[in-house]
Amino acid sequence: MSTFRVALSADFQKPDGTAAYPSFDLSPLEDEPQIEWAYVPVTNGRIAAEDMVGFDALILLGARFDADSFPGDGRLKLIARFGVGYDTVDVGACDANDVALVITPSGVRRPVAVAILTLILALAGRLMVKDRLTREGPNGWAKRSDHMGQGLVGLTLGSLGIGNIGAEMFTIIKPLSMNYIAYDPFADEEIAKGLGVELVSLEELFKRSDYLCVNCPLTPQTQGIVDAHHLSLMKPSAYVINTARGPIVDQAALTQALKDGRIAGAGLDVFEQEPSGADDPIFKLDNVITTPHSLCWTDQCFGGIGAADTKAVLDVMAGQVPDGIVNTAITQNANWKAKLQGGHADNG
């Protein structure tokens, strides 16, 4: 029986060679005698084709995998992204090279929804300001009446997108007794109805939301959709929360809206440029809570994502179609199906 070789991008390691994320359980790979796995280098933020020669699958963390990353031996069958974002992977090139790309919605659904709830509660309670006041001693305590929090009952929570994470967000936030609205051109009306969510137009979403949460993928259609025009429609008391992808929001427009008081504040786990420079103007604002694209990172989150990725690897090794395929048409591709069964169809 031939060896099934699995690559892990080297950003899963610390500089000293130890595991960066111990909750990512590699024992399913280590316990399978047919599998041999190894780390592959990340060079200038990407995976190089020469380092992928001889591998059947890749579990990819934060590195880019572009059109020039595919090895020429045609052996690669699967790229398993560690998470749900796949803007670092060239999907068209996956199709051209007969490679399935999978993501892990089951692993991030609850952790990201909890992260959104964390930001909502922190913004509503003025948590960061009150933390600072407490540390200032009596002078800070004397100012606490100037920073009253906001109750959430009866306010409107809006979601830009009501897919995997958006639906989970509404599920866990339902006991807060807010009003729930969403815009999503691909929404399942029955799912929305079951969640008690009213589907509205894009402009109505911005006009009515007291807390507007970005829960859509980054695509050419969504890039910059939270722009100056849409921000101008919001209430001056409203907040924007983004835990999806930074470029969905026009960050310069958001910064200006926050400076001008056109909206009350924001909670951001993602940014247009990552890592962001310390001199970014948005970090100088005291009505913004920021986290470094890691608010949902917990032992349970990484454990769940890792379990989903290793299952995808094991499924492909067994000749089965894995869950979470992004480029779904690949399942009808003769070359990929031949790879899945242990062979490789003629490209000619």
Q: What would the pLDDT profile of 224-283 be if each residue is shown by its tens digit?
A: 999 999 999 999 999 999 999 999 999 999 999 999 999 999 999 999 999 999 999 999
Same domain for 258 and 121? yes
The catalytic residues are 245, 274, 293
**Secondary structure of the chain: what % helix, strand, coil (to 5)?**
40, 15, 45
pLDDT in tens, 303-315: 999 999 999 999 9
Same domain for 263 and 125? yes
- pLDDT score, position 119: 98
pLDDT in tens, 325-344: 999 999 999 999 999 998 54
Query: How many structural domains comprise the chain?
Result: 2
Same domain for 95 and 134? no
Secondary structure (3-state) at 268 = strand
Same domain for 89 and 206? no
pLDDT in tens, 123-169: 999 999 999 999 999 999 999 999 999 999 999 999 999 999 999 99
Query: Is residue 151 situated within a structural domain?
Result: yes
Same domain for 275 and 262? yes
pLDDT in tens, 177-207: 999 999 999 999 999 999 999 999 999 999 9
Instruction: Quickly state the pLDDT bin for 85 (edges 50, 70, 90).
Output: confident
Closest-CA residue to 216 (of 192, 189, 187, 238): 187
Same domain for 116 and 184? yes
Let me know: does 121 contact 289? Beta carbons within 8 Å: no
Residue 345 has pLDDT above 50, yes or no: no
| Domain assignment of residue 238, given as a range | 107-290
Same domain for 156 and 216? yes
Residues 6+ apart with CB under 8 A from 274: 246, 292, 293
Query: Is residue 140 situated within a structural domain?
Result: yes
Residue 2 has pLDDT above 90, yes or no: no
Q: What's the CATH code of the domain at 155? A: 3.40.50.720
